[in-house]
Structure 1
Amino acid sequence: MELRPWRKQDAQALAVIANNRNIWNNVRDRLPNPYTVMDALEWIGHISQQKPVQNFAILVEGIVVGNIGAVLQEDVYRKTIEIGYFVAEPHWGKGIATKAVALFVAYVEQAFEPLRIYAGVFAHNKASMEVLRKNGFHLESIKRKAAIKNGQVQDEYVWVKLINY
């Protein structure tokens, strides 16, 4: 398994992966649904401007199977980074997200020197919480009624990894 920056030629694979209601149920609404090749090309064009790289394709045996990325915070939160990820549904339960998070956190620590890395997870996504736990994140808080997804009010679990340099 490896992480590499997204390329325009990955757009078709990304569209196939992201155009999945079960993935969409676990991410923010800014990910379009349905998700098209044009959406993928637009997004890849946007993120390719980011330096250092903040979003990576997750590859297994050279095949794109997911995405992992960072959202850099600003102002007084400039040493805090939010991460997010998704893996193609046929690859769920194979440890890919766990390995990707481990690789990505190591990269983020080196590239951005954060003091804090966190991920928000909807209450129903126990698998993602386990991925974070296995990578040394701890449950910091539960934000009650924090989001509305699919017309349903959702609690968001905030998982955090504090970095000591």
Structure 2
Amino acid sequence: MGVPQYRPEDWRLFIDSSKRSLKCVILHNGNLYVSIPIGHSTKLKEEYENIKIVLQKLKYHEYQWLICVDLKMANFLLGQQGGYTKYPCFICLCESRARKDHWVNKVGPLRTDLTIGVANILYEPLVPGEKIILPPFHIKLGLMKQFVKSLDKDAPVSSTF
């Protein structure tokens, strides 16, 4: 593949999942080399145990790549409860149900530990939190999708901006 020497710190693991499939790809940090698909399944569901098995098969603890994932996969990797929870964020402890604080508080208390049974942590974290990076383009597409869904469908279409 043209790689003179493999060094794990020069690569990152990208994991993406949906209801239909789970995909794992190794990406070069400088994009000098081609992306390498290393895992694909149409049978595994988005569940903590399945992600744990995938990381074991990929020997993640041997290579310790940075992991590029979306927010839902970050929750799986850190052992958090899915769905509408009181503490959905893996970075801070802002309460999702505290509606009066949503647009008032700009900074919330940082999440300092991932203790099982506390603040929606159900399982042992599979990777350290500092190894997780978020893909900005993936997040931007998600935000745009939410924006478009929130547009007034009955408003007249304007041709000028």
- In the superposition, the TM-score normalised over structure 2's length comes to 0.31
Of Structure 1 and Structure 2, the greater strand share is in: 1
